[in-house]
């Protein structure tokens, strides 16, 4: 697992983008895909999934990551940045169907 993380860190360094930007985009596109897929396959479930993504990502970022993610240590700004990635991605997924 450490070798995989080291190779991912090396890849990020080669892209020239900040780790923060890449993390934001990963959270953004994950949430957008989940909400859009729920709308595509589940009718009106995309609204429920939208709120589930918001609640789940808030719990993940502000409860779990804040207390258990230590490499590198997370700050409140890091957690907010990641949460906003989820929230804006979920909003994009929801906007596809409205």
Residue with tokens 């890091």: 78
Per-residue pLDDT tens digits for 19-33: 888 889 999 999 999
Residue with tokens 């589930």: 52
Least confident residue range of 5-9, 41-45, 57-61, 73-77: 5-9
70: DSSP letter: B
What are the backbone angles phi and psi of residue 73, rounded to the nearest 5°? Answer: -60, 140
What is the value of pTM for the model shown? Answer: 0.84
What band does 10 get if pLDDT is binned at 50, 70 and 90?
Answer: confident
Q: What number of residues does the chain have? A: 98
Least confident residue range of 24-28, 69-73, 82-86: 69-73
Query: What is the reported pLDDT for 57?
Result: 97
């Amino acid at each position: 697992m450490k070798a995989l993380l080291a190779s991912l860190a090396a890849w990020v360094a080669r892209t020239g983008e900040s780790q923060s930007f890449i993390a934001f985009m990963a959270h953004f596109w994950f949430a957008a895909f989940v909400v859009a897929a729920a709308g595509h396959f589940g009718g009106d479930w995309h609204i429920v999934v939208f709120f589930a993504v918001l609640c789940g990502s808030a719990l993940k970022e502000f409860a779990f990551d804040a207390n258990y993610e230590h490499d590198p240590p997370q700050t409140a700004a890091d957690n907010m940045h990641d949460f906003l990635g989820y929230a804006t991605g979920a909003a994009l997924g929801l906007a596809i169907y409205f």
